[in-house]
């Protein structure tokens, strides 16, 4: 990847004037596209993140390995009461999690985020996202804009470049999961549900609704608070009977607003609707899992290969308690640590020691200890070249990288790439979206 990144940079430098021109065309497309975050155009950089075929295949295999481990964790939680105690979920949430859906795959969709080092091929996991995982539409639109650029066309002379299809593939996977539950209807009526004022991308929801329709299903986007239930059927606001739900509402928001969504909750509890994914996915979303993955209780049901994989790719993690703090150097060596809430999303409430002076860091740790936080080994993101043509004087600089790996029904589906000036890569900070493509070298090309 490093070689391609530097070659890509060289192509731009050799023809800067033409690339400035096509950057303008690319940005104009994006500004008028459906790639929006909270109603505003996304912020993007010029160069795509290009994954050589060997890297793509390696990360695909790794993602599917991690996925298999996560499925084992979910199954263990559902079947073994002693294992549940390690997670510390509330009684009400645990009752929801223990509802076992009729379909076979208990983790229908996820995005596994990693810090990948392009120098040596090593990586560490950053976060696991389940039903609320997003940004498929950003990648789709970024790839359309990317193809307008001079540098991309020049890169195609050396590499055969491929983007990832992330919409119709999910509709097909969704249908497979639904049918595995033995439901009567061949093509269900689907509601894509969220708290719409919290949903980051109505445009993305609309793209998914279209993909479900192309696959033969009736589908619409619904505000989760506006559903109705008569004891037999769950209804969309327009009266459509809902057979299956693509849940984009994350569990923490559902628990916070559960008194406002009684129709949804009653239909789910009564098993009158197929919920994809069900609440058992919260097991992998909660960051408690990061320190349990290398716990002896989890190792008890894993293979030696799986245990070795986790030892290599899961950063050291512990609960942020007085006892754990006393037994670590989290205060003395702040640059090596990051603290995170157990159940959050969008990088909310995350603090990296490298961003604080010593006195500030000690105060942050003190304020968040013994309060549902974890402390974790800090992984410095790999930095690669990119350029921002929105700037008045654009210059090449190196940006921190975060790579997301989508899996649909257990199968790798594609990447989502983000870059930032700083170490925390999030839309709430200074995140930039970049297109993800994979490359085959065109032998004999000049």
**Which CATH number covers residue 321?**
3.30.1490.20
What is the rounded (10 degree) CA torsion for 92, 97, 100, 102?
Answer: 110
Residue 392 within any structural domain of the chain: no
Q: Is 310 within a domain?
A: no
Confidence of residue 132 (pLDDT cuts 50, 70, 90): confident
Per-residue pLDDT of 252-269, as tens digits, reads 999 999 999 999 999 999
Question: Based on the domain organization, do 128 and 219 belong to the same domain?
Answer: yes
Same domain for 342 and 407, yes or no, is: no
> Which among 278, 289, 213, 220 has a CA at the least distance from the CA of 251?
278
Banded model confidence at residue 200, pLDDT cuts 50, 70, 90: low
Q: Are residues 250 and 344 in the same domain?
A: no
Q: Do 105 and 156 share a structural domain?
A: yes
Query: Which of 329, 350, 378 marks a domain boundary?
Result: 378
Residue 446: CB atoms within 10 A of its CB come to 5
Report how far Cα 212 is from the mean position of its chain's Cα atoms.
Answer: 21
Task: Tell whether 413 and 360 lie within a shared domain.
Answer: no
- Would you say residue 246 lies in a domain? yes
Each residue's pLDDT tens digit, 352-381? 999 999 999 999 999 999 988 999 999 999
What are residue 439's DSSP bridge partners? 52, 161
Residue 278 pLDDT exceeds 50: yes
User: Does residue 367 share a domain with residue 423?
Assistant: no
**Band of pLDDT at residue 287, cut at 50, 70 and 90:** confident
Instruction: Examine residue 135 and state whether it is found in any structural domain, yes or no.
Output: yes
Select from 378, 408, 430 the last residue of a domain: 378
Q: Do the domain assignments include residue 300?
A: no
- Contact criterion met (CB below 8 Å) for 285 and 128: yes
Predicted confidence at residue 347, as pLDDT, reads: 57
Residues 92 and 61 in one domain: yes
The mean pLDDT of 90-103, rounded to a whole number, is 94
Domain at 91, CATH number:
3.40.50.1760
Q: Would 393 be classed as within a structural domain? A: no
Regarding whether 166 and 20 lie in a shared domain, the answer is yes
Whether the per-residue pLDDT at 322 is higher than 80: the answer is: yes
Whether residue 224 is contained in a domain is answered as yes
Question: What is the maximum alpha-carbon separation in the chain?
Answer: 67
% of the chain surpassing 90 pLDDT: 88
pLDDT at 345: 59
- Asked, for residue 387, whether it belongs to a domain, the answer is no
pLDDT at 37: 83
Res 429 pLDDT > 80: no
Split into its structural domains, the chain has a count of 2
- Together in a domain, 103 and 162: yes
| 151 shares a domain with 52 | yes
**How many whole angstroms from its chain centre is CA 64?**
15
SS (H, E, C) the chain: CHHHHHHHHHHHHHCHHHHHHHHHHHHHHHHCCCCEECCEECCECCCCEEEEHHHHHHHHHHHHHHHHHHHHHHHHHHHCHHHHCCCCCCHHHHHHHCCCCCCCCCCCEEEEEEEECCCCCCEEEEEEECCCCCCHHHHHHHHHHHCCCHHHHHHCCCEEEECCCCCHHHHHHHHHHHHHCCCCCCCCEEEEEECCCCCCCHHHHHHHHHHHHHCCCEEEEEEHHHCEECCCCEECCCCCEECEEEECCCHHHHHHCHHHCHHHHHHHHCCCCEEECCHHHHHHHCCHHHHHCCCHHHHCCCCHHHHHHHHHHCCCEEECCHHHHHCCCCCCCHHHEEEEECCCCCCCCCEEHHHCCHHHHHHHHHHHCCCCEEEEECCCCCEEEEECCCCCCCCEEEEEEEEEEEEECCEEEEEEEEEECCCCCCCCCCCEEECEEEEEECCCCC
353: containing domain: 316-378
pLDDT in tens, 54-92: 999 999 999 999 999 999 999 999 999 999 999 989 999
pLDDT tens-digit profile of 152-171?
A: 999 999 999 999 999 999 99
Whether residues 210 and 106 fall in one domain: yes
pLDDT over 70 at 428, yes or no: no
- Residue 441: what pLDDT? 80
Clarify whether residues 338 and 434 are in a common domain.
no
Q: What is the mean pLDDT of residues 184-194?
A: 96
């Amino acid at each position: 990847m490093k070689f391609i990144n530097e070659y890509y940079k060289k192509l731009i430098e050799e023809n800067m004037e033409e690339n400035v021109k096509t950057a303008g065309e690319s940005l104009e497309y994006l500004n008028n596209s459906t790639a929006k975050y909270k109603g505003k155009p996304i912020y993007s950089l010029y160069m795509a993140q290009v994954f050589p075929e060997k890297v793509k295949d390696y990360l695909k295999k790794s993602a599917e390995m991690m996925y298999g481990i996560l499925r084992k964790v979910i199954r263990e939680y559902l079947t073994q009461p002693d294992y549940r105690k390690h997670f510390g979920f509330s009684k009400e949430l645990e009752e929801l999690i223990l509802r076992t859906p009729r379909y076979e795959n208990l983790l229908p969709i996820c995005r596994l985020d990693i810090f990948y080092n392009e120098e040596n091929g090593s990586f560490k996991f950053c976060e696991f996202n389940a039903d609320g995982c997003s940004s498929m539409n950003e990648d789709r639109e970024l790839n359309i804009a990317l193809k307008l650029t001079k540098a991309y066309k020049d890169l195609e002379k050396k590499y055969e470049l491929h983007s990832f299809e992330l919409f119709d593939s999910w509709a097909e996977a969704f249908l497979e999961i639904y049918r595995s539950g033995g439901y009567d209807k061949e093509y269900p009526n689907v509601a894509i549900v969220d708290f719409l004022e919290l949903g980051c991308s109505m445009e993305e929801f609309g793209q998914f609704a279209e993909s479900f329709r192309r696959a033969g299903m009736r589908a619409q986007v619904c505000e989760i608070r506006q559903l109705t239930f008569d004891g037999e059927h769950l209804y969309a606001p327009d009266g459509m009977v809902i057979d299956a739900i693509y849940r984009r509402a994350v569990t923490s928001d559902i628990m916070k607003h559960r008194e406002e969504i009684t129709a949804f909750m009653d239909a789910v509890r009564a098993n009158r609707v197929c919920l994809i994914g069900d609440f058992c996915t919260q097991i992998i979303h909660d960051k408690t899992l990061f320190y349990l993955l290398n716990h002896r209780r989890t190792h008890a049901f894993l293979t030696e290969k799986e245990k070795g994989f986790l030892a290599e790719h899961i950063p050291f993690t512990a609960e942020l308690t007085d006892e754990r703090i006393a037994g670590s150097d989290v205060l003395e060596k702040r640059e090596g640590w990051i603290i995170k809430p157990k159940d959050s999303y969008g990088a909310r409430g995350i603090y990296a020691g490298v961003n604080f002076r010593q006195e500030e860091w000690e105060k942050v740790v003190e304020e968040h200890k013994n309060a549902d936080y974890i402390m974790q080994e800090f992984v410095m993101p790999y930095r690669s070249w990119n350029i921002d043509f929105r700037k008045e004087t654009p210059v090449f600089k190196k940006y921190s990288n975060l790579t997301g790996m989508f899996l649909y029904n257990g199968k790798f589906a594609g990447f989502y790439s983000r870059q930032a000036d700083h170490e925390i890569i999030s839309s709430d900070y200074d995140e930039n979206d970049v297109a993800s493509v994979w490359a085959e070298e065109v032998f004999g090309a000049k």
